[in-house]
Amino acid sequence: MNILLVDDDIVDRKMIRRSLIKGGIEHQLTEVESVEEGIIAIEQLSFDLLLLDYNMPAKNGLDLLIELKRINHIRDLTIVMISNAQSDELVLKCLDLGVQDFLLKEEVTASILSRSIIQARKRFELESQLHNSYLQVKEMAELDALTGLYNRYYFEETCQRLMQAGKSRYSCAGVLIVDIVDFKKINDRFGHEAADQLLVELGASFKRHTKPEDIVSRFGGDEFACLLVSCDNPLQIKIEAEKLIKLLSRTYSIMSMDIRCQVRMGLALYPLNGKRADDLIRFADIALFRSKSAKSSAACIFEDNMQTEFQMKYNVEQDLRGAIDKQELELAFQPIVDIRQGKVVSLEALIRWPTAQFTSSPQEFILVAEESRLIEPLGKWIIEHAIYTLKQINSKFGYPIRLAINLSPLQLVDMSLPAFINDCLERANMEGGLFTFELTETALLNDSERVMTSLNRIKDIGCKLALDDFGTGYSSISHLLNYPIDIVKVDKSLTDRIEADEMGERVFFGLINMLKSLQLSIVVEGVERYQQYYACKEANVDKVQGYYFSSPVSESSVINTIRAINKDLAREVDARR
């Protein structure tokens, strides 16, 4: 047994030395005279037992115990405190600091010291067993049950500990947060079991392609994290992050199925972006949020301005969530006029948020709704409320007025949407033929197979489909040929060019003729002036929509607005006669 004796009194050291020999304990004894020498000896050599004097000049035995706890050596030693003085308070302090036994020097004999050492060693063994059991339970609590990786709790705790040690150990480190693009679609398409197995495979791949000193964790769902400490500088971390994206983004063979997986990544750098683990994790999460918004496949590194943007979007999201729950949103309606019939034949339903605290712009809060998936409950509320409202409107007129409702890209890949629409129609006792669902061309670029299935099911209900904003962005004739589109809505940007120059006018008339040759119904948007309205009539356009007739109006005003427009159009028809 290797024993360290720390005592400033040479007489006491001799007494203890003799007691050890007489007690028959086989040992190797090292003697030092101060706390400082004791710490040096413990750091340089290996000991089984520490015999520690309490009363010493400069620093006492408690100071040594405190230092051992600080440098994480307190659990490596059996400790017996030997003192000339005894009090209950002192004994309790010693026990709290890891001492296994306490002896008065005046009581020390060979047999008492021998018994104390044996008992102390036994207590130490029991404490070690308990501690090891605790560590095993703790490890089980810190592991993700599905992947076997560390969970978020362990990652955050370890991150914080390493960041504190990082002042001396690490010049640079990176916190990476990774998620799977469109994981919900994978889940829906291949099933939960396959999706779970994908998470297991991806986690194993993540672990395999990082170094042992790096920490890989699964936060939950499809979100993983990694603390990169094996890199020497920010550029190396960036290179390693990009490499990980390429390695993780691949086709996985799961349950005899090939599942294509693409990951996104947010990255925060220590100490450049922060020195606290919770800050770095939050910043990496914000960078991941930006990566989602930008639809980028590269690792997105946190920048200071992202926090302001993220906070704004977070505020809008929380405010919008409350507005949906409290039904604080409203619908506005913009009339669509049939030129030949000279009356309002349709309306477009538009969402409005009068109680918004941060932004009332539909473009802004709809974007947040899509990114946060709030578009799903919001979109369903719009559909249900719009169908009910049209029923009330049509009860006031002698002819049926149709209604156009916008669908987001996320709604189009929701396979439950057609059934929801049908259910709303049945409950309202309304025909599907009265409704048009508008979609943008960008919505057709995502998961075309699911989009096509969804569109066909909506058509089966009897509803029509309109391609919105045609003439901007991707504008592809193939969309008109490949998808079951009934109506094309010509974008305002083309309407504005009618008066701008001769080329703009030729483009407008050429586009209208092309669409008519495809036997598609046409609605021209953004008609604000008489010249634009006149050009639409000259081009034999079916229907027009814009501020020339009316801006979007509230639910309470829409009936009077329709009547006023119809009255004006009737006068125009009479004047032509």
In the chain, % of residues over pLDDT 90: 49
Q: With the C-alpha atoms ordered 202, 204, 207, 208, is the resulting torsion angle positive or negative? A: negative
Split at pLDDT 50, 70, 90, the class of 149 is: very high
Chain centroid to CA 23: 65
Judge contact between 249 and 297, C-beta under 8 A: yes
Tokens of 350: 């538009």
Counting residues of the chain whose pLDDT is more than 70, the rounded percentage is 94
Q: Which residue has the higher pLDDT, 433 or 101?
A: 433
Nearest to 267 by CA among 226, 212, 296, 309: 226
Confidence bin at 397 (pLDDT 50/70/90): very high
- In this predicted structure, the answer to whether residue 313 has a pLDDT above a threshold of 90 is no
CA dist 12 and 34 (Å) reads 14
Which run of H or E residues covers position 220? strand 215-220
Q: What is the 3-state secondary structure (H, E, C) of 494-545?
A: HHHCCCCCHHHHHHHHHHHHHHHHCCCEEEECCCCCHHHHHHHHHCCCCEEE
pLDDT at 447 over 70: no
Q: Is residue 520's pLDDT more than 70? A: yes
Q: Output the pLDDT for position 180.
A: 94
State yes or no: pLDDT of 198 exceeds 90.
yes
For tokens 């750098």, the residue is 269
- In this prediction, residues 186-215 reach a mean pLDDT of 94
Sign of CA dihedral 340, 346, 348, 352: positive
pLDDT at 411 over 80: yes
For 230-272, what is each residue's pLDDT tens digit? 888 888 999 999 999 999 999 999 999 999 999 999 999 988 8
Q: List pLDDT tens digits, range 160-186.
A: 888 777 554 667 899 999 999 989 889
- What pLDDT is recorded for position 388? 96
Specify the 3-state DSSP secondary structure of 81.
strand
Q: What is the mean pLDDT of residues 44-48?
A: 85
In this model, does residue 475 exceed pLDDT 60? no
β-strand partners of 344: 337
Mean pLDDT score of the chain: 88
Amino acid letter at 368?
A: V
Written as one string, the DSSP assignment of 34-58 is: SHHHHHHHHHHS--SEEEEES--SS
Q: Tokens 């400790």 sit at which residue?
A: 79
Look at 252 and 298; give whichever has higher pLDDT.
252
**What's residue 515's pLDDT?**
92
Q: In the structure encoding, which two tokens stand for residue 216, read together?
A: 């890989």
Q: Looking at residues 107-122, what average pLDDT do you find?
A: 82
Number of neighbouring beta carbons within 10 Å of residue 224: 27
Residue-wise burial string across 82-104, b where 16 or more C-beta atoms lie within 10 A, e elsewhere: bbeebeeebeebbeebbbbbbbe
Taking Cα atoms as reference points, which of 57, 97, 59, 58 lies closest to residue 81? 97
- Band (435; pLDDT cuts 50, 70, 90): very high
Q: What's the confidence (pLDDT) of residue 185?
A: 86
The pLDDT of residue 110 is 84
30/62 Cα distance (integer angstroms): 20
Write out the two tokens for 35: 């706390």
Domains and CATH numbers, the chain: 2-140 (3.40.50.2300), 152-302 (3.30.70.270), 315-576 (3.20.20.450)
- With 0-12 / 13-18 / 19 or more C-beta atoms within 10 angstroms meaning exposed / middle / buried, residue 295 is exposed
| Residue range 436-447: mean pLDDT, rounded | 84
* pLDDT above 90 (res 359): no
Q: Give me the pLDDT at residue 163, please.
A: 78
CA dist 236 and 471 (Å) reads 44
Rounded Cα distance, 471 and 508, in Å: 9
Helices (DSSP H) in 152-191: which residue ranges?
152-169, 183-190
pLDDT digits (tens, 9 = 90+) for 76-102: 788 888 888 778 888 888 888 888 888
Other beta carbons within 10 angstroms of residue 269's beta carbon come to: 22
Number of C-beta neighbours around residue 18 at 10 A: 14
Whether residue 75 is predicted with pLDDT greater than 80 in this model: the reply is no
For the CA atoms of the chain, what is the radius of gyration?
A: 37
Instruction: Please check whether residue 4 is in contact with residue 47, taking contact to mean a CB–CB distance below 8 angstroms.
Output: yes
Query: Residue 347 CB: number of other CB atoms within 10 A?
Result: 27
For 403, residues 6+ apart whose C-beta sits below 8 A from its C-beta are: 346, 347, 348, 349, 386, 387, 390, 434, 435, 436
pLDDT exceeds 80 at position 71:
no
pLDDT of residue 167: 52
Alpha helices in 221-355 (DSSP H): 234-248, 277-294, 304-326
- The pLDDT assigned to 368 comes to 86
